[in-house]
Homo-oligomer: A and B are copies of this chain.
Amino acid sequence: MTNERYERGWEKLLEVDGDGGQRVMDSLSDIAPDLGKYIIEFTFGDIYSREGLDLRQRELITIASLTTQGGCEAQLNVHINAGLNVGLTAGEIVEAIIQCAPYTGFPRVLNAVFEAKRIFKERHFI
């Protein structure tokens, strides 16, 4: 059953995460489809659809949060791509990760930077 939040969230997911988001949803379909539904409705239908910050600001924040959380390389992959999708430059994304160094230390910053490097190589930026 779809609903307004789901539809708004799905549209936002496609705008922000693109293929990466859809792949996460597909991979949940046979194990925990409701979890995918909550991510679409809550993360994208509720949070990303809020006013007050634009999508580039929201992705800077998400990348900082995932860098600091640690062990979230798969989600960083989705959101570094999402950052590029909504108009952040590769340089701004690396800059956001470096900004976390004084607060969470170099190891998690290195993990995030190397995830960015994998993506930038795939996209032939470097």
A residues touching B (Cβ–Cβ < 8 Å)?
A: 24, 27-28, 30-32, 34-35, 38-39, 42-43, 46-47, 50, 52-53, 57-58, 60-62, 64-72, 74-75, 91-92, 94-111, 113-114, 116-117, 120, 126
Residue pair B126, A30 in contact (C-beta under 8 Å): yes
CA distance A98 to B34 in the complex (A): 9
**Are A52 and B92 CB-contacts (below 8 A) given A60-B61, A99-B47?**
yes
Residue pair A31, B98 in contact (C-beta under 8 Å): no
Residue of B nearest to A91 (CB): B52
Residue pair A35, B65 in contact (C-beta under 8 Å): no
Residue pair A75, B52 in contact (C-beta under 8 Å): no
CA distance A113 to B102 in the complex (A): 16
**Are A38 and B31 CB-contacts (below 8 A) given A61-B96, A100-B65, A104-B105?**
no
Residue pair B110, A74 in contact (C-beta under 8 Å): yes
Residue of B nearest to A76 (CB): B107
